[in-house]
A and B are shown apart, each in its own frame.
Chain A
């Protein structure tokens, strides 16, 4: 099987699907089966990833994870030669096998473009969308001198480089200049040896020949369509596809055991974040909603968004809960973290705790205090990652705008963020600290505090982090991917309803009326209050809100709004703390409000006697 093309399979003949995600530390396998005409995720197994010595073969970990799934499912999936059995017959084998990978640090790229806000931004979006970590962006106006740029290129060891610049038919000089900087720097690839550095040129097509002249045989140059053919338009797909192809042909092929894995898979192997982006886009498109997904890991935090059909992904490289926890504290500062902590803690001890977690990243909080503190850090890591995402997910910069008299007082410029919390419909959480929080109320609370959703927003979490698997599945069998996503992947936590408008101590924020099969509630929310109403997963409630002057639920300040809220494991949360969310400055007021939120949302119940 070719590494870059999917096998042609009749979707109706697919009954058993096996999918793996080879992460840096664990390989996760899931089994999807057609039950009564519907696809359901049935079993899951995991095993340590084996890209490093002594195994140094990724397929060993895959076979171990798949064997565990097979044992749980009572289905023989691996034959005596240690290979995956296909097609499915009775209790043996599967119909298709697909996989994603982020092992070995995933895909690491360097991006170069002429103007930071234009072609370089488009190139960066293409790289991030393809699932890469962007190590650095070199551009003509990045305020570094040419020799500093060359030095930087020499220091980095990316898996590949994406070079963009110029509109088609426009000036060629600047992009060729960039090529002339990259070529003598002789960038060394991560995997060394015989590997030729892949460079993708996605700039002014008329400059392609001149760019090719700048490079010698030490690199493998691929030319694709311009990411910014005209200023008003982006065309990221060809660059993304080229990145995926080169990722398979060059990067993965040099990682231990990947050639075998590629030959096993029935669809091209995707970088894990690329696959997550894929499924989120599919869902947003199918349900016609704006969606935001976050995956907070130990080292990095990925944020994915689809607003009005535009997909964006950012990776906050040093915001995470273990390897990067110290960086979160350095970036956010301790007082910002402590604003989410309702218990008394010694700052010096906390700083040492943070560093101890950084150097021993696999430990888990044993005490309630440690959990409260870690979740406070998570709120800040998510908040910072979201700020970076909003700054990146913008309308195209450099586009000429026509203004009329009506726009006289409008401050809108090109390059405004397209992320709008008021228009956000679905917020999906994944990653250890969110997925494995002891209570789902804690997950919901962390998401609300970090992302500050406005209007009505449905909150969900990825049950067992199967979004990567479903992202690849969406390429070969979209229907199966959607069915599993809706039924097994997401656990709905409930709905958050919150107005936009600043906190005003002691004032009424809004009045509400809630009506559902099991609920009939009405009342008044004072500024700073939160309320939780139980609302079952299968229930919907009609919520009518009447905001006070200055508060807006999406229909305009002070305007009455009606929502149909979805229930979930947590329920319906009314949040009158104001947006942007500001905590009271007085320490006493702050602690009393914080305690009231903790109590209302039942975040940290007193420990039971049997606990250790």
Chain B
């Protein structure tokens, strides 16, 4: 067998890319098919039912739960303001009445005669979805959202922190091997997507947050630095909801590791362009990798290299790969021979292996599971 499947990160200079922008619950779509949209334009919105506050009226006015409906001064479905009297007990012979007031505003959703509990629902919360990717509305999914399509330069990282961000591409490092340190950042980078080279230091991240950069992208990061930035040790690679003040994307992995040549050069080509990034990562079933989406200004003819984004590729002789495990972690090369028989590794395990002809010309043998394709 000379072919095998291996997942890889996508690094594409020009690709027709579509983003699905959906509401978590049904709502209104604000654009129509064919509309041109900008990255920060709101394309769909809805209202989420408000927060719920349970109030134990029976306890508060010292009556039996069954009496609560009779003591309520506000009926189900009616609005309540802070300070309104919700319920009043009958007292003894009309004296010693006790009452309770609302501490939050909302609408009375239910009054229970079994538990004496009243459910107060707060005002609906608006939820808006922006276009994220500048482009054309290709499809409207009624009540749910839209699909936006455009030709873009598309790159995936290996791990991100934080969610979506927008800005222009700006460079801090001069080459892919240069560590991304705090002294390379200045005030002019505020609101920009700043590209580094090799390891991004913890101090650089702090400085980036201080300046207010939109996102920081580099080859590697140290585990200790990430722990300090987050305030906890990242246990599973499910990220995107962090609010650290910026979005981080690591393209290669943990440690002193330079950004892949192709990634660095491609970003360099698009320096000054407007881009959208998303640090959301989910390394579980249904993998999500962080991404950098840089829309292209002009549409090209269909016969050029524009292709649909493909999530898996074929591992075969001649394709470029990155080794993703020790002892050759981070090295790049191309696939040489792919022997079919199992080989015994130094660890003693039996495994399918392949040859990698490194950029230096050296040939190394590694398990097939320990390489990933560099797609593009």
Which residues from chain A sit less than 8 Å from chain B, CB to CB?
24-25, 52, 103-105, 146-147, 150-151, 172-173, 176-177, 180-181, 183-186, 188, 210, 214, 299, 318, 323-324, 326-327, 329-331, 348-349, 351-356, 358-371, 436, 438-439, 604-605, 607-608, 610-612
Residues on B with beta carbons closer than 8 Å to the beta carbon of A604? 348
Contact B236 A323 (CB under 8 A): yes
Contact A360 B325 (CB under 8 A): yes
Cβ-closest 7 pairs across A and B: A327-B235, A438-B348, A371-B347, A330-B233, A352-B254, A363-B325, A355-B254
Q: Closest B residue to A370 by CB, please name it.
A: B326
Tell me the complex Cα distance, A358–B121, Å. 41
8 Å CB interface, B3-40 against A: 7, 24-25
A-side contacts of B121, CB under 8 Å: 184
Q: Of B119, B343, B370, which contacts A180 at CB under 8 A?
A: B119
Known: A327-B236, A351-B224. A186 touches B49 (CB 8 A): yes
In the bound complex, CA of A354 to CA of B226 (Å)? 13
User: Do residues B117 and A177 form an inter-chain contact, with CB atoms below 8 A?
Assistant: yes
Binding site for A on B (CB under 8 A): 7, 24-25, 49, 51-54, 65, 109-110, 112, 114-115, 117, 119, 121, 158-159, 222-224, 226, 233-237, 253-255, 281, 283-286, 324-327, 329, 343-351, 353, 365-367, 369-370, 372
Cα(A147)–Cα(B369), bound, Å: 47
Residue of A nearest to B365 (CB): A612
Do B223 and A24 touch (CB < 8 A)? no
Determine which of A146, A324, A367, A611 lies in contact with B327 in the assembled complex, contact meaning CB atoms within 8 Å. A367
Nearest B residue (CB) for A604: B348
| Residue in B53, B158, B286 whose beta carbon sits within 8 Å of that of A147 in the complex | B53
Closest to A150 in B: B52
Q: How far is the CA of A24 from the CA of B285 in the complex (A)?
A: 7
A180 and B54 contact, CB distance less than 8 A: yes
Known: A349-B255, A436-B349. A358 touches B224 (CB 8 A): no
Residue of B nearest to A103 (CB): B285
Among B115, B283, B350, B351, which residue has its beta carbon within 8 angstroms of that of A359? B283
Query: Given A150-B52, A355-B254, are A371 and B349 neighbors across the interface (CB < 8 Å)?
Result: yes
User: A326 near B52 (CB under 8 angstroms)?
Assistant: no
Whether the Cβ atoms of A366 and B347 lie closer than 8 Å is yes
Question: Taking the nearest CB of chain B, how far is it from the CB of A69, in angstroms?
Answer: 19
- Is B345 a contact of A355 with CB atoms below 8 Å? no
**Chain A residues near B283 (CB, 8 Å)?**
323, 358-359, 361
**B253 x A146 contact (CB < 8 A):** no
Q: Which residues of B contact A214 (CB under 8 A)?
A: 112
**CB pair A363 B369 closer than 8 Å:** yes
Q: Do B236 and A326 touch (CB < 8 A)?
A: yes
Q: Closest Cβ of chain A: how far from B239's Cβ, in Å?
A: 10
A324 to B233, CA, bound (A): 12
Which residues of B lie under 8 Å from residue A299 when comparing CB positions?
Answer: 236, 284
Name 8 interchain pairs, CB-CB below 8 A, sorted by A.
Answer: A146-B53, A351-B223, A361-B283, A364-B369, A366-B367, A367-B327, A370-B326, A610-B344
Q: Report how far A139 CA is from B6 CA in the complex, Å.
A: 45
Does B284 lie within 8 Å of A370, measured CB to CB?
no
* Contact partner, B329, options A147, A172, A177, A356, Cβ 8 Å: A356
Task: State in angstroms the CA–CA spacing of A327 and B349 once bound together.
Answer: 25
If A352-B255, A363-B324 touch, whether A147 touches B233 (CB-CB below 8 Å) is: no
**Contact A180/B112 with A186-B49, A363-B370, A612-B346 known, Cβ cut-off 8 Å:** yes
Residues in A whose Cβ lies below 8 Å from that of B324: 356, 360, 363
In the bound complex, CA of A151 to CA of B50 (Å): 11
Most chain A CB neighbours (cut-off 10 Å) among B110, B223, B365, B366:
B223
For A150, list chain B residues within 8 Å (CB).
Answer: 51-52, 54
Whether A184 and B345, one on each chain, are in contact in the complex, defined by CB atoms closer than 8 angstroms, is no
Chain A residues, CB < 8 A from B226: 355
Is A438 a contact of B114 with CB atoms below 8 Å? no
Chain A residue numbers with a CB within 8 Å of B365 are: 612
A353-B326, A438-B350 provided; 10 other pairs, C-beta below 8 A?
A183-B110, A214-B112, A326-B237, A351-B224, A355-B254, A360-B372, A362-B7, A364-B325, A366-B367, A370-B347
Q: Closest B-chain residue to A153, C-beta based? A: B52
Do B235 and A324 touch across chains, with their CB atoms under 8 A apart?
yes
Which residues of chain A are near B366, meaning CB under 8 Å?
366, 612
CA gap between A214 and B65 in the complex, in Å:
15
B227 to chain A, nearest CB (A): 9
Q: Which of B110, B114, B117, B353 has the most CB of A within 10 A?
A: B114
Tell which of A323, A327, A358, A366 has the most Cβ of chain B within 10 Å.
A366
User: Given A351-B224, A358-B283, is A323 in contact with B254 using a C-beta cutoff of 8 Å?
Assistant: no
A188 to B222 CA separation, bound complex (whole angstroms): 38
Cα A442 to Cα B148 in complex, Å, equals: 53
Complex interface: chain A residues within 8 A of B346 (CB): 366-368, 607, 611-612
**Neighbouring B residues of A180 by C-beta, 8 Å:** 54, 110, 112, 115, 117, 119
Partner of B349, one of A351, A360, A364: A364
Complex formed: what's the CA distance from A543 to B328 in Å?
48
Is there contact, CB below 8 Å, between B351 and A364? yes
Distance of A284 Cα from B282 Cα, bound (Å): 39
The interface residues of chain B lying within 8 Å CB-to-CB of A186 are 49
For the complex, give the distance between the alpha carbons of A585 and B333 in Å: 46
* A contact residues around B114 at 8 Å (CB): 172-173, 176, 210
In the complex, A611 Cα to B119 Cα: how many Å? 68
A210–B117 Cα distance when bound, in Å, is 14
Would A367 and B51 count as touching, CB distance under 8 A?
no
Q: Given contacts A184-B119, A324-B235, A612-B346, are A147 and B54 in contact (CB under 8 A)?
A: yes
Q: Which of B237, B285, B345, B353 contacts A105 (CB 8 A)?
A: B285
Give, as a whole number of angstroms, the nearest-CB distance from A149 to chain B: 9
Residue of B nearest to A366 (CB): B345
* A612 B236 Cβ-Cβ under 8 A: no
A439 vs B325: C-alpha distance in the bound complex, in angstroms?
22
B158→A358 contact, CB < 8 A: no
Contacts of A351 in B (CB 8 A): 223-224, 254
A188 to B48, CA, bound (A): 12
State the CA gap A147–B25 with chains docked (Å): 21
The answer to whether A360 touches B158 (Cβ under 8 A) is yes
Q: Are B370 and A364 in contact (CB under 8 A)?
A: yes
CA distance A366 to B234 in the complex (A): 25
Q: B237 contacts which chain A residues (CB < 8 A)?
A: 323, 326, 358-359
